[in-house]
Structure 1
């Protein structure tokens, strides 16, 4: 007999309420993480200092996951305003210092006006963000 839980034929254990609660908590955690990231990016760009492309994209209204996915392609053909360094976390407790390209608001706005991803849905989001920044 098929129960519809990922192809398993065994009945699912546990209270279904726990599953709903777990899913709701996961949704809230994701929403909180997104809101925190957006708020932090908005604050950082409001300082007027050059910021990485992903920070500018998040502050412009692009979802953080999409911003990080497209920031490499977004910044590939544009010369950075300045460069800096940041630390990334490796496995365990190790970290590594890597260079990062930083852009001022004018350079970012000019690039956002012309850059569109191949994905039609994502391109629409970038177009809306460019329109909001131009206004």
Structure 2
């Protein structure tokens, strides 16, 4: 059985995900930029941020431009792809492969805004139309 390309993306740790979120919002960033943002949140030291980003580069989660003195990093994976990776993993591990159970549980335990409900209805209508 062939693995999905989404599943072949390394799943970031919590600390790596925090760095990815900063990169998605502000890229490109230097290690100093990431460290400063993490430090404001009560985060980590500079060398820890540097080591995390080096590990993320090896894992393929970030790209590094080392043509300048201060290396500049960009996310190598999109936010949407990463969200999909986490979602697939959660559906498999927590909801026994049932995405409908995930949706029912999520909607039953969290209040959705009018805009979110409208978006859900549009998606359900599209899925219904595609199924026919």
Bigger proportion of residues as strand? 1
TM-score normalised per structure 1: 0.24
Bigger proportion of residues as helix? 2
TM-score normalised per structure 2: 0.24
Higher relative contact order (CA 8 A, sep 6+): 2
